[in-house]
Structure 1
Amino acid sequence: MKNEILILPGDGIGPEVINEAVKVIQLLKKKKLINSVIRYAKIGGNAIEKVGLPLPTDTLKAAKSSRAILLGAVGGKKWDNIKDFKKRPEYGLLKLRKSLKFFANLRNTIFYPQLLSSSIKSEILSNVNIMIVRELSQGIYFGKPRGVVYNEYFLRYGFNSSNLDEKAIRRIGIIAFELAKKRKKQLCSVDKANVIEVSMLWRKIITELSNSYPDVRVTHLYIDNAAMQLILSPNIFDVIVTGNMFGDILSDEAANLTGSIGMLPSASINSIGQGLFEPCHGSAPDIANKGVANPIATILSVSMMLHYSLQKPLLSKFLNVAIINVLKKGFRTADINYTGKNLVSTKEMGNLIIEEFEKLI
């Protein structure tokens, strides 16, 4: 691996939020607190427009040699009519994850009392800090066979397979248990073991792993109950571990706990220390180039990069504090502005966070 950070702006609001996040990296380079080289490449719809592929060979090559990757978002209505999935923007992201063998996705949901913008009562959200650990390399998104065909009645028939092997389950389980050990020592495993064989194997292996972590209290919930409890009683959760599709759903649902998906960062990691860091939100093409997108999730993704890939936990902490300080002062982008006051643009929010961050470092 080279000491490089690869920037993939992507589509829609991706370039806008990435611009603000890159300011953080540039400030750290200027202060000589990191010495990483910044490189840019194309992915998703932007890459399709330029070279006809959602993940160009040059982009994949640069990603494989980088220590960390920062992604904006991919996709948009412009490419929704592409029938071949391998030519769609989203395929570029899935291929990137699979090619670099990112097997664990970490999504940290934190309630910011400064916002009080969630539709859920603040007393329920008090002290909510949930880490969702999602198996990223297998499951229904990658399983085969898959496709759409005509059946014997000449009706269209769609099918996907959910495949998980023991190695993948044990690997993601260990990540989750190790995180739980460093937090509140409680882990909730989410599955659908009452009806799905893949989930039956999942629960069996997680239970076996728990024997090696006697200090971690393990609970098991079916996905439907977990989704309900995440909204009704989020404080019962600390670390959640689950498969690819369930993790995708739960982590997006958890956005409601913060009031906006624009507040949720994400980290995908592999076994050699590389990381893909991205906001949980999509490309939101309807608000692209209007200066209203929230860059905080992307900046928080840089914070996760500092912690997990660049081994700079103190800088990560300072960046988190800088964001909290800006929120305490009342500044808001449109998605988290419920008072009508102190409304700022994407760029202005980025600049405000940079000002606070520079005071701390």
Structure 2
Amino acid sequence: MTQKILLLPGDGIGPEITAEAVKLLTVLRDRHGFDATWSSAPIGGAGYDAAGHPLPPATLEAAKAADAILLAAVGGPKYDSLPKELRPERGLLGIRAGLGLYSNLRPAILYPELADASSLKPDVVSGLDILIVRELTGGIYFGKRETGVETDYKVGSHVIPSARVARDTEAYSDFEIARIARTAFEAARLRGKRLCSVDKNNVLESSQLWREVVIEVSKEYPDVTLSHLLVDNAAMQLVRAPKQFDVLVTSNMFGDILSDIAAELTGSIGMLPSASLNERGQGLYEPSHGSAPDIAGLGVANPLAMLLSVAMMLRYSLGRSDLADRIQAAVKTVLAAGLRTGDIAKPGEARIGTAAMGDAVVAALGH
């Protein structure tokens, strides 16, 4: 059966790295038996430009009809003056909610060839291979928001006669927590059978419920060792001794922060793919980096996170783990050959551009 893929190039460097993904998909189709078709739709700033909204209705409908979605990046300074409900990031939040993409998988793998590119000493990060499982459709990003002026607002022992106040609400149900916990336990079962749950149990009511529910779910997985860390300690441990971790599971906001820390350990966020899955296995796949408007149009962006996102798409949604393995092997081959984009090159080291890196990965796939 022919698989349907929706491409969402978005903004900034998005169209450039999407072009490299299309190059890869075309070779997989023409030479490696991948039965698929793809089409494109606007999202983010491009969605606003095309239809006056960061998530045009037609884009959401196309996403719902697709077997998998490949998204590049959204955002850029030209949209900073828009009302918050029309900002490009709202398109990303909207498609996550619209498709029920509650489970975000963010691997952080340090390729041996890039050990010197990490901000930590090679002996601390060499061999790093961790997975962060982030809850994606709940928590503070989707909670109730309030802004307004309040009278007699208390700040410690002070009473402010009139103050502008903003509130963002963190809310989680036991259902949401149990659902993402099971995803994480299943992932840990396929890896090193160690799961660390990250929360702020000493302060937040939502984190107290989080820990209680994760412990309850752990009874279903007696073969997986469960541990707990407060988020501030987890952040410290990630930069002190990251290889102690196998799989981490955490809330939406904490996962957002911790996955960016993990990205720095690997040498460049330009190397990190991600997958966001719903209950029926449909997924949205995207690099962990942003739209990088400062280098958009220059042809220097690293496309490897996008190409590795294609590999995750093949593995988790399209049933072609064999092709996913080939892509990952091709990336290793290219890195072993010393090819580098600017973000992963050492000072004085030769650098290649976006298209050349894409060409190199395609060539390394073989026939």
- The 1-side partners of 2:60 and 2:80 are apart by 23
Give, as a single letter, the amino acid of the residue that structure 2 aligns with 1:100. L
Unaligned 5+ segments in structure 1 are none
1:184 aligns with 2:192: yes
**Structural mapping, 1:136-175, within 5 Å:** 136-144=136-144, 146-152=145-151, 153-175=161-183
What's the secondary structure of 1:227's corresponding residue? helix
**Structural mapping, 1:245-264, within 5 Å:** 245-264=253-272
- Deviation of 1:2 after TM superposition, in Å, equals 8.0
The C-alpha deviation readout for 1:201-243, integer Å capped at 9, x for no partner, is 0000111111111111111000000000001000110000000
The C-alpha deviation readout for 1:8-57, integer Å capped at 9, x for no partner, is 00000111111111211111111252211101000000111121110111
- The 2-side partners of 1:169 and 1:50 are apart by 37
Runs of 4+ in 1 over 2 A off after TM superposition: 339-342
The C-alpha deviation readout for 1:234-285, integer Å capped at 9, x for no partner, is 0110000000000000001111111111011010000111100000001010
- Deviation of 1:148 after TM superposition, in Å, equals 2.0
**Structural mapping, 1:37-186, within 5 Å:** 37-82=37-82, 84-115=83-114, 116-144=116-144, 146-152=145-151, 153-186=161-194
**Structural mapping, 1:225-236, within 5 Å:** 225-236=233-244
Give, as a single letter, the amino acid of the residue that structure 2 aligns with 1:343. R
Give the total of aligned pairs.
357
What's the secondary structure of 1:163's corresponding residue? coil
- The 2-side partners of 1:89 and 1:207 are apart by 37
- Are 1:134 and 1:248, in contact at CA under 8 Å, matched by a contact in 2? yes
The C-alpha deviation readout for 1:273-330, integer Å capped at 9, x for no partner, is 1100000001010110011111011111001001001111111111001001100111
- The 2-side partners of 1:346 and 1:32 are apart by 23
The C-alpha deviation readout for 1:132-161, integer Å capped at 9, x for no partner, is 0000110000011x0321222442211100
**Structural mapping, 1:227-306, within 5 Å:** 227-306=235-314
Distance 1:15 1:24, change over 3 A: same
The C-alpha deviation readout for 1:97-155, integer Å capped at 9, x for no partner, is 000000100000001110121120111112210100000110000011x0321222442
Q: TM-score w.r.t. structure 1 length?
A: 0.97
The C-alpha deviation readout for 1:58-87, integer Å capped at 9, x for no partner, is 1011000000000010011111122x3221
- The 2-side partners of 1:54 and 1:2 are apart by 29
The C-alpha deviation readout for 1:323-350, integer Å capped at 9, x for no partner, is 0110011110011111423310011001
Q: TM-score w.r.t. structure 2 length?
A: 0.95
What's the secondary structure of 1:114's corresponding residue? helix
The C-alpha deviation readout for 1:154-194, integer Å capped at 9, x for no partner, is 42211100111011101100010011011001000000000
1:36 aligns with 2:36: yes
- The 1-side partners of 2:48 and 2:90 are apart by 11
- Are 1:307 and 1:316, in contact at CA under 8 Å, matched by a contact in 2? yes
- Are 1:2 and 1:67, in contact at CA under 8 Å, matched by a contact in 2? no
- The 2-side partners of 1:151 and 1:112 are apart by 53
